[in-house]
Amino acid sequence: MKYCIVITTCENRGKAKSLADAILENRLAACVQLSNISSLYHWKGKIAEDEEIKLLIKTREERYKELEAFISRTHDYDVPEIIKVPIAEGSQEYLGWISDVTM
């Protein structure tokens, strides 16, 4: 079985927590970590800077498309960040737990 981390951001902790709760309730992931970050990016011809919350979402590769569609449907950004990073290796106990939770 293959695993991945999906990265997205939200504009504040409340929205990030709501998204994380919905992802977990739908068993699209086993774990979502929230971190405060400062983002600088190009947007509409300017360089923007915002404080955001980064979500690191741990799941199985086969759940990715469903998770991506869920984030796209529920996110309030015009263009939400949705990036999949494969997990090359990991603790068998941890990866097994991801499998158990996301079945």
| 26-61 core/surface letters (b: 16 or more CB in 10 A; e: else) | eebbbbbeeeeeeeeeeeeeeeeeeebbbbebbbbe
pLDDT at residue 103 greater than cutoff 90: no
The CATH number that domain 3-101 falls under is 3.30.70.120
Residue 103 neighbours by CB under 8 Å, 6+ apart: 27
Do the Cβ atoms of 92 and 45 come closer than 8 Å? no
Q: pTM for this one?
A: 0.94
Domain boundaries, the chain: 3-101
| pLDDT confidence tier of residue 1, bands split at 50, 70 and 90 | confident
- Average pLDDT for 84-94: 97
Beta-ladder partners of 3: 60, 87
